[in-house]
């Protein structure tokens, strides 16, 4: 995959943040957690000649499954293919496995990070750990860094699913504005420069750089570089949650990720990156991963050892068999097909929006992902101005269409005229029906 280097220059020599640097970033319990006495010894089981009496592994001969055959597609969807799991591979798939994930899948994913982000595994002390979806590792990553009461920078609007993570942790969420060019680095700079001297600075920034959920916007290269500069200057970790990286269908050149860019700016160790297979392989497999500084990834693994032990081995094995067959190029071919699918849906949805909602809403065309984030235009002649909460939460539902009021994507939970609509699962016919119902709801709300 082509990765642009800044100004086309080659990589400068790297400054790698040392493990001791993370002392100030690790949360209290991340520091207190030790290695699991049993899981920590599991890798020794592969020592040649060793007889292991270590773990309470169930004997797979007692399991009711004798083989798995899964019909799949080639990466370009031109031919069917069969994946078979039997014998020792089946036993491995049905057994407990390593905390960080199925070894060949972790290896494949590490290779993909090298391929897609130009991060040579020998440059900087980074590694990969698998999660039960990216949500699992986003949650654990946040818990390993943040203590109750800590401030965390959060782009706004933001993925609604991350807000409970920061709320549960009783963090102070500091909203950073976004616009059609992604996170507003100037807003971030203003916040940080005005930060009270007596108050501990935020330890982390959470951002979705490609096709942000809910806005569908992508951060430009300039914005990304300024955010990285600010991270260095004000000493925080970037939580790069990027499940739409492979679903980009816009016109702009492909911007490097934060994970790629930090290696190009000479210092590595500030970016904790999250990837997800949910949008490109299957959401039900529950596979995602975190990539970043070894010290933080180790802390995530300690969390996994104390919570869910590992990601399901069976789905990891299925994913690995498929990805191994496809290779990196095949994976990219597949994701290009997936993103072309969503681009077509987006175009259809926008056509339907133009037909039904012109004059009632305004929006910016999304460049990745599966959402349109639109704003209800205030009607000055209506008594309420046309309350979007009322229109979406109550009236639209009664008329048979479900969308999300924008307020749930705002860290402060304040009222907003924005609405998020997902176009991933609806046919063209359903799009027209849904948007004509929405139109009725908006007009009715204006009369209320
Ligand atoms: N982050 C973002 C920005 C998302 O949009 C989602 C899913 N909607 C997730 C994380 C969680 O994805 P996963 O299925 O990999 O847990």
Local confidence pLDDT in tens for the 448 residues of the chain: 534 444 444 555 789 999 999 999 999 999 999 888 888 888 888 899 999 998 889 999 999 999 999 999 999 999 999 999 999 999 999 999 999 999 999 999 999 999 999 999 988 899 999 999 999 999 999 999 999 999 999 999 999 999 999 999 999 999 999 999 999 999 999 999 999 999 999 999 999 999 988 999 999 999 999 999 999 999 999 999 999 999 998 876 689 999 999 988 889 999 999 999 999 999 999 999 999 999 999 999 999 999 999 999 999 999 999 999 999 999 999 999 999 999 999 999 999 999 999 999 999 999 998 999 999 988 777 666 556 677 777 888 888 999 999 999 999 988 889 999 999 999 999 999 999 999 999 988 887 7
Distance 47 CA to ligand 1 centre (A): 38
Beta bridge partners of 197: none
CB atoms within 10 A of CB 376: 26
User: CB of 283 closer than 6 A to ligand 1?
Assistant: yes
Distance 174 CA to ligand 1 centre (A): 21
Pocket test for ligand 1, best of 274, 278, 290 (most atoms within 8 A of CB): 278
CA distance 366 to 297: 32
Distance 33 CA to ligand 1 centre (A): 27
Please tell me the residue having the least CA distance from ligand 1 atom 11.
135
For 379, the token pair is 């009607």
Pocket test for ligand 1, best of 130, 131, 135, 316 (most atoms within 8 A of CB): 135
User: CB of 216 closer than 6 A to ligand 1?
Assistant: no
CA distance 73 to 326: 10
Pocket test for ligand 1, best of 109, 133, 368, 370 (most atoms within 8 A of CB): 133
User: CB of 243 closer than 6 A to ligand 1?
Assistant: yes
pLDDT at 381: 73
Burial of 359 (0-12, 13-18, 19+ CB in 10 A): exposed
Give phi and psi for 318, each to the nearest 5. Answer: -65, -45
- How far is C-alpha 190 from the chain's CA centre? 26
Nearest-atom index, ligand 1, CA of 135: 16
For 50, the token pair is 């060793």
Altogether, the residues listed in the chain come to a count of 448
pLDDT at 122: 87
Peptide bond into 19 cis (omega under 30): no
User: CB of 208 closer than 6 A to ligand 1?
Assistant: yes
93: Cα within 13 Å, side-chain hemisphere: 20
Distance 248 CA to ligand 1 centre (A): 15
For 53, the token pair is 């009496």
Distance 389 CA to ligand 1 centre (A): 24
pTM above 0.90, yes or no: yes
For residue 209, give Cα distances in angstroms to 70, 201, 257, 403.
34, 22, 8, 23
User: CB of 207 closer than 6 A to ligand 1?
Assistant: no
User: CB of 133 closer than 6 A to ligand 1?
Assistant: yes
Distance 344 CA to ligand 1 centre (A): 22
Distance 409 CA to ligand 1 centre (A): 14
pLDDT at 1: 53
CA distance 316 to 105: 7
User: CB of 333 closer than 6 A to ligand 1?
Assistant: no
User: CB of 264 closer than 6 A to ligand 1?
Assistant: no
pLDDT at 8: 47
400: left (phi over 0), alpha (psi -120 to 50) or beta: left
pLDDT at 11: 52
HEC string of the chain equals CCCCCHHHCCCCCCEECCHHHHHHCCCHHHHHCCCCCCHHHHHHHHCCCCCCCCCCCCCHHHCCCCCEEEEEECCCCCCEEEEEECHHHHHHHCCCCCCCCCHHHHHHHHHHHHHHHCCCCCCCCEEEEEECCHHHHHHHHHHHHCCCCCEEEEEECCCHHHHHHHHHCCCEEEEEEEECCEECHHHHHHHHHCCCCCCCCCCEEEECCCCCCCCCCCCCHHHHHHHHHHHHHHCCEEEEECCCHHHECCCCCCCCCHHHHHHHCCEECCEEEEEECCCCCCCCCCCEEEEEEHHHHHHHHHHHHHCCCCCCHHHHHHHHHHHHHHHHHHHHHHHHHHHHHHHHHHHHHHHHHHHHHCCCEEECCCCECCEEEEEECCCCCCCCCCCHHHHHHHHHHHCCCCCEEHHHHCCCCCCCCEEEEECCCCCHHHHHHHHHHHHHHHHHHHHC
CA distance 404 to 434: 13
Q: 232-249 as b/e, with b when 16 or more CB fall inside 10 Å?
A: eebebbbbbbbbbbbbbb
User: CB of 130 closer than 6 A to ligand 1?
Assistant: no
pLDDT at 252: 67
Please tell me the residue having the least CA distance from ligand 1 atom 9.
135
Pocket test for ligand 1, best of 160, 183, 212, 213 (most atoms within 8 A of CB): 213
Judge if ipTM > 0.95: yes
pLDDT at 5: 45
Distance 57 CA to ligand 1 centre (A): 32
User: CB of 135 closer than 6 A to ligand 1?
Assistant: yes
Task: Match 């790629």 to its residue by tokens.
Answer: 260
CB atoms within 10 A of CB 356: 20
CA distance 438 to 397: 9
pLDDT at 370: 93
CA distance 448 to 398: 15
pLDDT at 306: 93
pLDDT at 4: 45
For 44, the token pair is 């020794």
For 300, the token pair is 């995530």
pLDDT at 3: 44
For 391, the token pair is 């229109």
């Amino acid at each position: 995959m082509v990765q642009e280097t800044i100004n086309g220059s080659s990589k400068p020599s790297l400054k790698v943040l040392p493990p001791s640097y993370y002392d100030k970033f690790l949360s209290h319990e991340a520091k207190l957690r030790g290695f699991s006495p049993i899981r920590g010894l599991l890798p020794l089981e592969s020592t040649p000649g060793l007889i292991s009496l270590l773990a309470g592994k169930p004997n797979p001969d007692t399991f009711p499954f004798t083989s798995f055959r899964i019909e799949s597609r080639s990466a370009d969807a031109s031919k069917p293919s069969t994946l078979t799991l039997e014998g020792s591979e089946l036993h491995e798939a049905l057994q407990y496995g390593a905390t960080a994930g199925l070894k060949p899948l972790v290896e494949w994913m590490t290779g993909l990070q090298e391929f897609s982000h130009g991060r040579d595994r020998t440059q900087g002390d980074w590694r990969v750990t698998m999660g039960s979806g990216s949500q699992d590792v986003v949650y654990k990553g946040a818990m390993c860094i943040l203590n109750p009461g800590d401030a965390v920078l959060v782009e706004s609007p933001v993925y609604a699913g991350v807000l409970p993570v920061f709320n549960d942790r009783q963090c102070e969420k500091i909203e950073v504005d976004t616009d059609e060019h992604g996170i507003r680095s100037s807003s971030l700079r203003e916040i940080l420069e005005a930060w009270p001297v007596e108050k501990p600075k935020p330890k982390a920034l959470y951002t979705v750089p490609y096709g942000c959920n809910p806005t569908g916007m992508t951060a430009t290269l300039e914005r990304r570089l300024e955010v990285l500069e600010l991270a260095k200057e004000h000493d925080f970790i970037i939580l790069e949650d990027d499940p739409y990286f492979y679903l980009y269908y816009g016109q702009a050149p492909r911007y490097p990720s934060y994970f790629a860019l930090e290696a190009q700016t000479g210092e590595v160790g500030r970016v904790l990156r999250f990837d997800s297979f949910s949008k490109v392989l299957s959401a039900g497999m529950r596979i995602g991963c975190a990539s970043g500084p070894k010290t933080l990834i180790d802390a995530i693994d300690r969390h996994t050892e104390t919570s869910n032990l590992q990601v399901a081995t069976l789905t990891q094995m299925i994913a690995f068999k498929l990805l191994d067959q496809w290779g990196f190029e095949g994976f990219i071919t597949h994701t290009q097909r997936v993103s072309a699918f969503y681009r077509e849906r987006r175009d259809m949805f926008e056509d339907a929006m133009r037909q039904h909602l012109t004059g009632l809403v305004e929006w910016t065309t999304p460049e990745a992902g599966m959402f349109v984030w639109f704003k209800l235009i205030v009607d000055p002649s209506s008594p309420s101005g046309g309350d979007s909460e009322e229109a979406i939460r109550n009236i639209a539902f009664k008329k048979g269409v479900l969308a999300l009021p924008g307020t749930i994507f705002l860290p402060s939970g304040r009222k907003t005229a924005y609405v998020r609509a997902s176009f991933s699962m609806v046919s063209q016919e359903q799009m027209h029906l849904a948007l004509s119902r929405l139109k009725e709801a908006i007009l009715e709300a204006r009369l209320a």
